[in-house]
A and B are shown apart, each in its own frame.
Chain A
């Protein structure tokens, strides 16, 4: 039996009962954002010469891939905080799973397989909405899907490691308020990074979201710099791989006592 598939199956079984709401929100959220910020705010930006500053690209086409990557980050962060804590602490679901032939490896890999599934659905829906808004300007945009999924995993894995060390959910608030939200706002999602104060710019380069945003944007706009693209992928893979290693250690420490 392939590693993790039973855990994946479990999560799919749970999802079967809630997918309607989740599909609706994964369509609604990009529609709202692109309508309000892409068309509403974007109209204003374009009229005032913003397109020039953005390299001649309408604001909505600049913004949409940024939102795509940010959506991947948020989905990943949410799915690997409260649900993981619930399964460790509240419902003791992992204890029940570990009493069967399943191992910690199955839990970790299965949860990640599930995160990848979810990200594919959510980001796929996002791309479809983007296309409908005319914010996709190159066939390379199809590659923005795996890039967005990888961006999600680059967050999911280390956050899972963090969640596995937490006794209560109180620090999740801190994570969202001081981690996820600032990244969402300051990683080049809404405006180019060179608008940030010079002191903060290097910090942004160190976070995975910046790389996800930049690469997704190059792909949907069809202006890829191969060397930069490789660098972006390497950074994302490093966060994912490091996170997976940490999560394995943290889960084992927590569950195998």
Chain B
């Protein structure tokens, strides 16, 4: 949660409050003079599924790498599992599972060996590493490919293997950087299903995504990131309620028509958003708004009424869409 320092200090200490797994305040990451993460605050509670939603370049990966204790902070305060990454990196990493944005699988080893050796990095015995590798291959439905090379696996299979690898040390906290980017819908749903099961088992998930449906499906709470800053925080529901209307009517006009509409849609909705290829009317009742458009004698080529989404929240907050 983006709680300003002053407000934080004002909150009385609650003895029964579960300490957060991650606590970040004023977190900054700079590369040279370029600021990739600009003083962000957030907390992640045990058992939560927490998301960073934002477009490419927002600073999601830079933030995740600091949480993962592989990238030193430029400034700010960070505690992961109650420990300080700058002094306890290896101890923290021993209890993290990391799914990096790039798969980073070992192309010289088989599917099973990838898991075995990773278990060894966490100091598991050979036997235990082998046992867990078998179990995890079952969990991500790759048992049949156990002895195959990694290279010929599909993108979705590779991603599942990386998730299995991240689970080899039975982590308290799983960090997933764009877990489903570039996958086809079927592969994405299979992955979401696995992540959902982990969440039900009580694993704390922290993920980044630029897909609003992924954030809505998986996250209990999320922060919206844009240009190195957190611009909003809350549950998907709260964010939609706070920054958008219940429904949206999307109007597409014949080429050239939209430019000449100038003022003619005024007053038809709580808010009107003009995109290059369509106009969005934000209203509690999208159908009613669409009917009112027709009543004014306007004839859009197509009308789509849908529920508001996080995409609309992002558009509202930044004036841009999430995926370009």
Contact = CB atoms under 8 A, between A and B. Distances in A.
Which one of A6, A10, A96, A103 has the highest number of Cβ atoms from chain B below 10 Å of its Cβ? Answer: A96
B314 to A, nearest CB: 28
Contact of B104 (A6, A9, A95, A256): A95
B68 A99 contact: yes
Nearest to A93: B106
A97 interface: yes
Interface string B81-111: 0000000011101101010101111111100
B247 interface: no
A100 interface: yes
B118 A14 contact: no
Contact of A96 (B106, B113, B116, B169): B106
A241 interface: no
B70 A99 contact: yes
B72 interface: yes
A14 B96 CA distance: 25
Nearest to B162: A96
A13 B100 CA distance: 23
B163 to A, nearest CB: 13
Interface stretch (B46-54, B120-128, B266-274, B284-292): B120-128
B13 interface: no
Nearest to A12: B117
A93 B104 contact: yes
Contact of A257 (B31, B122, B169): B31
A169 interface: no
A14 B109 contact: yes
A137 B242 CA distance: 87
A257 B71 contact: yes
A91 B104 contact: yes
A21 interface: no
Contacts of A9: 117, 120
Contacts of B105: 91, 96
A103 B92 CA distance: 12
Interface string A4-44: 00100110011001000000000000000000000000000
A100 B106 contact: no
A103 B94 CA distance: 12
A13 B115 CA distance: 12
Contacts of B104: 91-93, 95-96
Contacts of A102: 90, 121
Contacts of A100: 93-94, 118, 121-122, 169
B156 to A, nearest CB: 19
A227 interface: no
B207 to A, nearest CB: 15
Nearest to B175: A99
B108 A96 contact: no
Interface residues of A, number: 21
Contact of A99 (B100, B107, B109, B113): B100
B68 to A, nearest CB: 6
Given A91-B106, A101-B94, A256 B113 contact: no
Contacts of A103: 89-90
B123 A13 contact: no
Contact of B108 (A14, A99, A101, A256): A14
Contacts of A101: 90-91, 93-94, 121-123
A131 B98 CA distance: 51
Given A99-B68, A256-B70, A13 B121 contact: no
A29 B93 CA distance: 44
Nearest to B102: A92
A17 to B, nearest CB: 7
A234 interface: no
Contacts of B103: 92
Contacts of B109: 13-14
A98 interface: yes
B70 A98 contact: yes
A72 B195 CA distance: 49
Contacts of A93: 104, 106
Contacts of A206: none
Nearest to B29: A257
Contacts of A95: 70, 100, 102, 104
A1 interface: yes
Nearest to A11: B108
29 contacts: A1-B123, A6-B123, A9-B120, A10-B117, A13-B109, A13-B116, A14-B106, A14-B108, A14-B109, A91-B104, A91-B107, A92-B102, A93-B104, A93-B106, A95-B102, A96-B100, A96-B104, A96-B118, A96-B165, A97-B121, A99-B96, A100-B93, A100-B118, A100-B121, A101-B91, A101-B122, A256-B71, A256-B72, A257-B31
Q: 4 closest Cβ contacts across the A-B interface? A: A92-B104, A100-B121, A101-B90, A96-B104
Given A99-B98, A256-B72, 19 more contacts: A9-B117, A10-B106, A10-B120, A13-B116, A14-B109, A95-B70, A95-B102, A95-B104, A96-B100, A96-B105, A96-B106, A97-B121, A99-B96, A100-B94, A100-B169, A101-B90, A101-B93, A101-B123, A102-B121
